[in-house]
Amino acid sequence: MVLPGAFKEKMMERLGEEYPLFESVLKEGKAPVSIRNNPFKFLDIGEEGVPWEPLGRYLPERPSFTLDPLFHAGAYYVQEASSMFLGEVIRRHLDLDEGLKVLDLCAAPGGKSSHILSLLNNDSFLVSNEIVKSRFSILRDNMVKWGRSNVVFTREMPENFQALPGFFDLIVVDAPCSGEGLFRRDHKAMEQWSEENVEMCALRQTGILEDVFPALADGGVLIYSTCTYNREENESIVEKLTESGNFELLSLKGDFQGVDFNIGARFIPHKTKGEGFFIAALRKLGTTEKKKEKSRGKRRRPNKLWERVSKHNRPIYKNWLKDDSFVFYNNSKGETVAFPQHLKQSFLHILDAFPFAHPGLILGKHVGKGLNPSHDLALSLDLHPDMGRIEVSKEEALRFLAKEPQHLSNGKRGWFLVTHKALGIGWVKGLGNRENNYFPKHLKIRMRIS
């Protein structure tokens, strides 16, 4: 590993006599492996805990996550340990007993969004946004595993959220950056690094924050983070926000060995067991009374993109869910979507602004007198507990995930949830002498299963 000369000079200036240790850790190239457990599907996976995150665990070595059915079931998320400090920041500066409206602006691949959902109560909800189409698909696949329905997925530019003025209590911006903190495991980021790229990233980060600023409520919290070391993309950005008079800096200081606390919290791999990371929190100043949610102008006709589900179908859908606390809509793809009744007004408010948003839980498609359930529903925490289930071994689960032929329904007819260690991984439909595997083709295991 040959570090870029200008990067090396900057880090030597920043770290002083610590620099040789920093460089040796980077050149060693072996990053710690960590996961964050799903508190709603709790199986305590891992051994050593991450000091700043109760659900975080270090693994002694990197396994093949693809060949672990629990990974596909959403029992945990593979996440770099330093970035888990987000949870500590949220717990410290927001009242998690309240119903919060949260925006994760740059959400893919889903680490921070799933972390946020682990903290929010049922009266809160998350808008998980990703503008890049390919990354949006990955985000949604990862978030579906988490099993919660109080989330809306959007693909919007930051400035578009100005259509929701003062709407969010918390906005998380894990900004696109020069990626210096990932050099140890991402040589491509190192090869693409330049001082010009750092400057370009800083300008883009400033623009993103300016664009999304109006969507944050007065008194709301902005959390800003990057996976880079330089001051231009970190402290300087935060200083601009405080100097604008629109924000006050919130303290993140805590008793965590190796974490550098100044303007924010900084993680450097020779001092903490994780990758390079910076995070800061600010509160928006202002005393304007929060506006009541209402439609922006004339509401779009529901049948253009969203149609109410006909009354005679609603009992069918409710049979698939654990309680009656949902409202149902059909989306433009003919899928039935459910989302929590008590969050209906907020969901519709978002749909007024972004009609192509993906809210709530996709149940599936209405076929004949029944429902063809979606993969979302197989992983959902809202699935009815009396749904027929088939518990399988690890070998059977892997064969199911690879869509290899097997006969799990044993001659029975109907829909069955395939589970491993009591966690759903997908659907089979028994047809008597055969069965259909409904695990999504784009997610199937393509590795050789030994």
- What are the boundaries of each domain within the chain? 80-284, 293-371, 388-442
Q: In which element (H, E) is residue 41 found?
A: none
Query: What pLDDT does residue 448 have?
Result: 81
Query: What pLDDT does residue 440 have?
Result: 96
Architecture of domain 388-442: Roll (2.30)
Query: What pLDDT does residue 139 have?
Result: 97
**pTM of whole model > 0.85?**
yes
**C-beta of residue 193 within 8 angstroms of C-beta of residue 180:** yes
Q: What share of the chain is helix, strand, coil (3-state, %, to 5)?
A: 35, 25, 40
> Residue 180 has which token pair?
């210096």
Place of tokens 């507990």: 385
Count of CA atoms in the C-beta half-sphere (13 A) of 87: 21
Residue of 106, 177, 201, 227 with catalytic role: 227
**Residue among 182, 185, 175, 178 at smallest CA distance from 211:** 175
Query: What pLDDT does residue 181 have?
Result: 93
In angstroms, rounded to a whole number, what is the distance separating the alpha carbons of residues 332 and 341?
21
**C-beta of residue 207 within 8 angstroms of C-beta of residue 236:** no
Query: What pLDDT does residue 310 have?
Result: 57
- Asked if the domains at 80-284 and 388-442 fall in one CATH topology, the answer is no
The CATH number of the structural domain formed by 80-284 is 3.40.50.150
In angstroms, rounded to a whole number, what is the distance separating the alpha carbons of residues 260 and 242?
20
Phi, psi of 245, rounded to the nearest 5 degrees: 85, 0
In angstroms, rounded to a whole number, what is the distance separating the alpha carbons of residues 133 and 426?
25
> Residue 133 has which token pair?
């189409």
Count of CA atoms in the C-beta half-sphere (13 A) of 283: 13
Q: Residue 201 catalytic?
A: no
Q: What is the mean pLDDT of each run of 10 residues along the chain (450 residues)?
A: 89 94 89 96 91 96 95 97 98 97 97 98 96 94 96 96 97 95 87 93 97 97 97 97 96 94 95 96 77 45 48 72 87 86 90 87 87 96 95 97 93 95 97 94 88
Query: What pLDDT does residue 188 have?
Result: 85
In angstroms, rounded to a whole number, what is the distance separating the alpha carbons of residues 449 and 401?
10
Query: What pLDDT does residue 128 have?
Result: 98
**Residue among 279, 292, 272, 228 at smallest CA distance from 249:** 279
Query: What pLDDT does residue 298 have?
Result: 43
Angle at 319 between CA 144 and CA 137, to 5 degrees: 15
Query: What pLDDT does residue 295 have?
Result: 43
Query: What pLDDT does residue 318 have?
Result: 78
